[in-house]
Amino acid sequence: MNSNEESSKLLMEHLMEPKNYGKLEDSNAIGIGKNPQNGEKVVIYLKVVEESEPTIEDISFQAIGCTYHNSCRFNYYNRG
């Protein structure tokens, strides 16, 4: 399988079974962004713990946009 086929397969996996998508109920930090050019929106939810240093313990997101950009977000925020 070449790299384009692998990328396409991974993209389809993320589209069919997105990871980290949805509201993180116990988040304690939220970021909201909107692209003024096309109206795409994204909300990022973080759960930050502050022991010796602030650390992101969990992350999730919700997005409204085209399929390609949403799949890129799925890939970027994939935890495993």
Coil, strand or helix at 74: helix
Average pLDDT over residues 57-71: 76
Name residue, tokens 């589209």: 15
4-61 pLDDT, tens digit each: 788 788 877 877 777 888 899 999 999 999 988 888 899 999 999 998 899 999 999 9
Supply the pTM of this predicted model. 0.64
46: how many CB neighbours lie within 10 A of its CB?
17
Say whether pLDDT at 3 is over 60. yes
Decide which of 9 and 70 is more confident: 9
Instruction: Please state, in angstroms and rounded to a whole number, the distance separating the CA atoms of residues 52 and 7.
Output: 38
Q: Under CATH, which architecture does the 3-76 domain have?
A: Alpha-Beta Complex (3.90)
